Copies of this chain bind each other. A is one copy, B any other.
Amino acid sequence: MDQSICPRFEKAISIMNKRWTTLIIYQLLEGSQRFCEIESSIGVSGRVLSERLKDLEKEGIVKRSVYDETPVRIEYSLTSKGESLKPALDQIQSWAENWIETSE
């Protein structure tokens, strides 16, 4: 390990590399969503989703908002740090459109 790689890049990758993280962010780029909406739209298990949302909150990428209605409503949305990942995800998307075959 001679650590020649930019530590900020490595940190970014270590966040995005965790399974589901990128899809969660991608989904939240559409607007704020509730737990079960994210769960069903990307097919992640509740166990892991709960874990990831906490991680992403800690990283300042996702914000958890509690609306004190009855019943209480909880929504997850991106912070500006999270929103600013859009260009990166857009690039991945356009790469996918150019290079990934549909039939698999």
Contact = CB atoms under 8 A, between A and B. Distances in A.
B102 A7 contact: yes
Nearest to A93: B9
Contacts of A9: 26, 92-93, 96
A66 interface: no
Interface of A (DSSP majority class): helix
A34 interface: no
Interface residues of A, number: 43
Contacts of A12: 92-93, 95-96, 100
B5 A41 contact: yes
Contacts of A13: 22-23, 26, 92
Interface in A61-100: 81, 84-85, 87-88, 90-93, 95-100
Contacts of A3: 43
